[in-house]
Amino acid sequence: MSQPLVEIKNLTKVFKIGGGLGLVSRRTIKALDSVSLTIPSDRAAITALVGESGSGKTTMARIILGLLEPTFGEVLYKGRRISDWLKKNRMEYLREVQPIFQDPYSVYNPFYRVERVLEMVIKKFRLASSKAEMREIISKTMKDMGLRPEDLLGRYPHQLSGGERQRFMLTRILLMRPRLIVADEPLSMIDVSLRSIFLDHLTSFKDKLGISCLYITHDLNVASYVSDSILVLCHGRVVEAGPKDAVIEDPLHPYTKLLISSIAIPDPKRRWKEKTDLTSIESFEKLKAGEGCVFSARCPYASEVCKEKVPPLQQIRSERKIACFL
Amino acid sequence: MESESMSVLEVQNLKIYYESVWGSYKAIDGASFKAYRNEVFSIAGESGCGKSTLVDGILRLVKPPGYIPEGRVIFEGTDLLGIPEDELRRIRWVKIAYVPQGAMSSLNPVIRVEEQMTDAMIDHGSMNKEEARELAISMLKEVGLPVEVARMYPHELSGGMKQRVIIATAIALKPILIITDEPTTALDVIVQKGILELLGSLKEKYGMTVIVVSHDMAAHAQIADRIAIMYAGKVVEIGSIHDIFEEPLHPYTKGLISAIPAMGKKSIKGIPGLAPSPLDWPQGCRFHPRCPYARDICSEVEPSMKEVSPGRHLACHP
Amino acid sequence: MSELLGTLKRRVSGFISLFKRSLALRVGVALLLLLIFLAIFQPIIDQYRLEGHEATDLGYFEKFLPPSLKHPLGTDQFGRDVLGLHLTGLKFSLIVGALAGSVATLISVCTAIIAGYRGGKIDSILNGVTNSILVIPSLPILMVVAFYTRLDLVSMCLTLAAFSWPWSTRVIRAQVLSLKERTYVDLAKVSGENHFEIMFAEILPNLIPYIIVGLGFSVIGAIFAETGLRIIGLGPTTVVSLGLLIQQALQYGLLTQKRYAEIMSLVLLLMSIFISINLINKGMDEAFNPRLKKVTGE
């Protein structure tokens, strides 16, 4: 197998909060704990990173985008460390790795018109040699996306709807043609009826343009619809990884099983069978760093060893990995 | 599912308008529906359809420049829009409980949970501090929270726990009707299931009517008995949850159902176009610009709500 | 950067719409424009009225003339036309305010943006500097500086600015701290913008309301400080500001001479400057936060 596009080895990110003058005690939060994942380069794929709040998924996105630095571990892009890319070949790296953020409103600077986000990348990455060419490229790309330039150009962000703004972000991606999109919950702030257009575009980017995507979400419904493979993140650790169909239909890790059984399926014929025990869904037990499996507090199968040792991520069958002592 | 008994809440042709610099903003333009005892009644719709405004209207929380030009809200035989303020106060919390959107962030961070719960109970119920305290503790148990929570401060609790505290306080006085607006946004999947199940259980345990307002169709699918679909300030379809999902009649409902991603679904289809703005509702049927079945009459005459079969209401030209 | 200028030009029409939103803003701006107009045209007005002489020339007219059509405020003990004198005073006060205020605001904005955005050590150092100056009792030091050195207009303004810039810095820095977390800053970073571009092309434009308010306070603060110096008798006598005129009024006992018109005129002019700027500040707040006035019913 050729060198993977993205390879993450034992990535750990620790945040320190509080402190200052030493009057307030400092707390450390381990957002990510020895996370490893690989995104292949031989074919374009959409990899879903699924996790709840606090799982560290946004932190992961920010590290890959270069907005945050890892505490330990290596994050490699095409075999080179990202910190190396950013120091020596920053523009080349950014040309290939681009985000789609969650909030389609605050991603636009309210002082400027919306097309500025496109003009910015055209200028910075020298995608046009003159102003006229720039306008042409913008117009053409918008039409390729199914947007009408005369409707949207010249407007300010608050004049567009959330769906339009997010599609405009996709236009930016189309303009740049990166190798990898890091999408952080891109649909959570758009209406349901507009989501399919967005997802269809992502899929066509993959199929027609070979653009891979790391799709970060808490919504397994969407992940199961759009992704090729799924990674499940829990409290900063990867607990299961594998091809989408396998993980959804045959989840192995207890956390994955719990997650899947908890999703609200939009079909009144497929209602939840087992009731969640309200006293068990959340607890005050703070997990001590490094001690035991992250899920042990809630796991119905937890045993002594689970509370003491951290289960490593192991390959079980072809292409499937889980981190569990069962 | 729809019993013949008298409805607990009946909204008749409710209209809520706002006066603004840019003109008259018809947020709700004639909404009608009925909710019965012992059921979970859902109000669904996307952003901008006016569902939260509708709730404001029902509870008489509309503030100027908003006003209610027309309509009746009949609760247990009385029109809530016509009674004096103090009578309304006596009904609020005791008979009708309301959990607004983002209620979890409205907990006062410097007052202990217990006190916030008992304050509300003493205010509206007629009990002393001791009784209120006991009630609070038992309510916390009802929602599955450990008793220690009572003595804690809100910031020490997670989102799901705070929401459960809010629900516990809301049901403490055993209201007949509880209205919740987006009860599960910003909560994790596993916690969401717990909260939704909790809301659904209220009808069996206490015979309450639970009205859930949310854009999350999957949530409705899981716990609702009947559902009303809203679009552009109007109710376009009402029916049992099974009927609506299996045989949606209104084109918007059809589009909505087919747009939801679900595990196992192979393809989803969106609805082209954009939701209209309240300042400029389309002429005739408000959905006609986006409707694949639109005919001439749809752009001229607004369809009225008709009962097309028992329990099934639809606002669409046949 | 040229897109910044283009946007700014187009923003002028946007600004005009702000006026519609606030009465305070309209009144404040109108008043200030009137004062500025008087100050700018003061030399011409005086040329016309005073037969080619400067208002400050001594002994040209008869002394102690009461108010009349030719001398609406009369003449003073040196035979100077009082109205011309006061207009000159207005001009100089406004100049002092504008110059000292602008310099102070410039320093303050740059410091706040750099400190807030870069954070870390740079922030600590700049904060230390800012706080130190805040703590220094500025008036006594100003007095010492004024006493021992020959100040002229520019050096006085710079000195005033040097002590007043920290006041707006905190507010602006706080806003910068909040703005730098916005998603559009992240987008700018991944689009390849460097720190300088982010600070001044992304964050700065969104600080404009705060900068204007800061400028308002700086201008008023500078005029206040200058007037304070004058009353004690310090400051360059070539700069005939309203403060200097007030000091002369005290020195020559205008109150006991019952020259009320002159006193009222000075007070009114000074107050007008303060009121107009304060109204503009209030108006900016109203214009940018329309929620304070009315709810538009979303």
Q: Which residue of A has its CA nearest to C11?
A: A111
Touching subunits for chain A (3+ Cβ pairs under 8 A): B, C
> Could you identify the residue written with the tokens 């059921």?
B39
| B270 vs A contacts (CB less than 8 Å) | 193-197
The residue range of the domain holding B18 is: 9-95+177-314
Please enumerate in sequence order all residues whose Cβ is within 8 A of that of C192, keeping only pairs 6 or more positions apart, or say none.
A90, A91, A94, A121, A124, A125
Does the beta carbon of A151 lie under 8 angstroms from any beta carbon of chain B? no
Task: Report DSSP letters for A240-308, one per residue.
Answer: EEEEHHHHHHS--SHHHHHHHHHS--S-TTS---SPP-TTTS---PPPPTTSS-TTTTT-TT--HHHHH
Predicted confidence band of residue A284 (pLDDT cuts 50, 70, 90): low
Domain check: are B55 and B125 in the same one?
no
Query: Token pair of A149, please?
Result: 């330039």
Nearest-CA neighbor of B194 among B179, B182, B183, B206?
B183
Asked if B223 contacts B191 with a C-beta cutoff of 8 angstroms, the reply is no
- Please tell me the total count of domains within chain B: 2
| C297 vs B contacts (CB less than 8 Å) | 18-20, 25, 27, 65-66
Asked if B143 contacts B176 with a C-beta cutoff of 8 angstroms, the reply is no
CATH of the domain at B184: 3.40.50.300
Query: Token pair of C261, please?
Result: 């018109």
Query: Which of B49, B141, B188 should be substituted to probe chain A, the one whose Cβ sees the most A Cβ atoms within 10 Å?
Result: B188
Query: Token pair of B217, please?
Result: 């169709």
| C193 vs A contacts (CB less than 8 Å) | 120, 124
In total, the C-beta contacts within 8 angstroms joining chain A to chain B are: 137
Say which DSSP state A13 is in: E
Torsion of CA C94, C97, C98, C102, to 10 degrees: 180
Measure C290 CA to nearest chain B CA, in Å. Answer: 12
| C294 vs B contacts (CB less than 8 Å) | 65
As a whole number of angstroms, the distance between CA A142 and CA B154 comes to 47
Task: Report DSSP letters for B158-225, one per residue.
Answer: -HHHHHHHHHHHHHTT--SEEEEESTTTTS-HHHHHHHHHHHHHHHHHH--EEEEEES-HHHHHHH-S
Domain check: are B71 and B183 in the same one?
yes
Report yes or no on B3 lying in a domain: no
Pick from A258, A263, A282: CB nearest B158: A282
Does the beta carbon of A162 lie under 8 angstroms from any beta carbon of chain B? yes
Each residue's pLDDT tens digit, A22-44: 555 567 778 888 888 888 888 89
Q: What integer pLDDT is reported at residue B187 of this predicted model?
A: 83
Domain check: are B143 and B192 in the same one?
no
ipTM of the complex in this document: 0.87
Strands A180-184 and A212-217: parallel
Q: Which ranges of chain B have pLDDT less than 50?
A: 1-4
Query: Token pair of A278, please?
Result: 């309200």
Domain check: are B296 and B241 in the same one?
yes
φ and ψ at residue A106, rounded to 5 degrees: -75, -5
Domain check: are B91 and B152 in the same one?
no
| Half-sphere CA count of A82, side-chain side, radius 13 A | 25
Q: What integer pLDDT is reported at residue C290 of this predicted model?
A: 59
Domain check: are B74 and B159 in the same one?
no
Domain check: are B167 and B202 in the same one?
no
As a whole number of angstroms, the distance between CA A138 and CA C287 comes to 34
How many C-beta neighbours within 10 Å does residue C192 have? 17
Report yes or no on B17 lying in a domain: yes
Domain check: are B170 and B188 in the same one?
no
| Half-sphere CA count of B30, side-chain side, radius 13 A | 8
Q: What integer pLDDT is reported at residue A318 of this predicted model?
A: 62
Q: Which residue of A has its CA nearest to C207?
A: A111
CB contact under 8 Å between A221 and B271, yes or no, is no
Please enumerate in sequence order all residues whose Cβ is within 8 A of that of A6, keeping only pairs 6 or more positions apart, or say none.
A37, A38, A39, A64, A75, A76, A77, A180, A214
Domain check: are B68 and B208 in the same one?
yes
CB contact under 8 Å between A66 and C190, yes or no, is yes
CB contact under 8 Å between C192 and A90, yes or no, is yes
Helix, strand and coil percent figures for chain A, each rounded to 5: 35, 25, 45
Measure A252 CA to nearest chain C CA, in Å. Answer: 37
CB contact under 8 Å between B64 and C296, yes or no, is no
How far apart, in Å, do the first and last CA atoms of chain B sit?
A: 25
Q: What integer pLDDT is reported at residue B4 of this predicted model?
A: 47
Domain check: are B85 and B166 in the same one?
no
Q: What integer pLDDT is reported at residue C291 of this predicted model?
A: 55
CB contact under 8 Å between B63 and C294, yes or no, is no
Measure B177 CA to nearest chain A CA, in Å. Answer: 23
Measure A258 CA to nearest chain B CA, in Å. Answer: 8
Q: What integer pLDDT is reported at residue A18 of this predicted model?
A: 62
CB contact under 8 Å between B221 and A259, yes or no, is no
| Model confidence at A182: pLDDT above 90 | yes
Q: What integer pLDDT is reported at residue B2 of this predicted model?
A: 47
CB contact under 8 Å between C294 and B65, yes or no, is yes
CB contact under 8 Å between B191 and A282, yes or no, is yes
Q: What integer pLDDT is reported at residue B5 of this predicted model?
A: 60
Pick from B47, B261, B269: CB nearest A191: B47
Q: What integer pLDDT is reported at residue A217 of this predicted model?
A: 92
As a whole number of angstroms, the distance between CA C64 and CA C27 comes to 36
Q: Which residue of C has its CA nearest to B21?
A: C296
| Domain limits, chain A | 6-322
Q: Which residue of A has its CA nearest to C5?
A: A112
Which fold, C12-62+69-292? MetI-like fold (1.10.3720)
| Model confidence at A216: pLDDT above 90 | yes
Report yes or no on B1 lying in a domain: no
In total, the C-beta contacts within 8 angstroms joining chain A to chain C are: 56
Q: Which residue of C has its CA nearest to A182?
A: C190
Q: What integer pLDDT is reported at residue C285 of this predicted model?
A: 78
Pick from B160, B189, B262: CB nearest A266: B262
User: In terms of DSSP H, where are the helices of A89-239?
Assistant: 90-96, 116-124, 131-144, 149-152, 162-176, 192-209, 220-226
Query: Token pair of C18, please?
Result: 């702000």
Report yes or no on B100 lying in a domain: no
Residues 251-290 of A with CB under 8 A from B: 258-260, 262-269, 271-272, 275-279, 281-282, 284
How far apart, in Å, do the first and last CA atoms of chain C sit?
A: 36
> What is the pLDDT of chain A when averaged over all its residues?
84
Measure B89 CA to nearest chain A CA, in Å. Answer: 32
CB contact under 8 Å between A193 and B259, yes or no, is yes
CA–chain centroid gap for A313, Å, is 20
As a whole number of angstroms, the distance between CA B154 and CA C77 comes to 73
Q: Which ranges of chain C have pLDDT less than 70?
A: 1-18, 20, 51-53, 55, 289-298
The angle that helices B129-142 and B159-171 make with each other, rounded to 10 degrees, is: 130
- Residue predicted with more confidence, A265 or A312: A265
CATH number of A6-322: 3.40.50.300
| C124 vs A contacts (CB less than 8 Å) | none
| A108 vs C contacts (CB less than 8 Å) | 184
| B18 vs C contacts (CB less than 8 Å) | 296-297
pTM attached to this predicted model:
0.82
| A120 vs C contacts (CB less than 8 Å) | 188, 191, 193
Q: Which residue of B has its CA nearest to C296?
A: B20
Task: Report DSSP letters for B236-303, one per residue.
Answer: EEEEEHHHHHHS--SHHHHHHHHT---TT--------S-PPPTTSPPSSSTTGGG-TT--HHHHHSPP
Domain check: are B62 and B118 in the same one?
no
Domain check: are B25 and B84 in the same one?
yes
Residues 28-57 of C with CB under 8 A from B: none
Whole-angstrom CA distances from C217 to A164, C106, C138, C164, C283 are 41, 13, 16, 9, 14
Q: What integer pLDDT is reported at residue C163 of this predicted model?
A: 84
As a whole number of angstroms, the distance between CA A108 and CA A114 comes to 7
> Could you identify the residue written with the tokens 């605001």?
C105
Pick from B161, B196, B218: CB nearest A266: B218
Of the candidates B174, B200, B230, which is a domain's last residue?
B174
A21 exposure class (CB count in 10 Å sphere: 0-12, 13-18, 19+): exposed
Percentage, residues of chain A above pLDDT 70 = 86
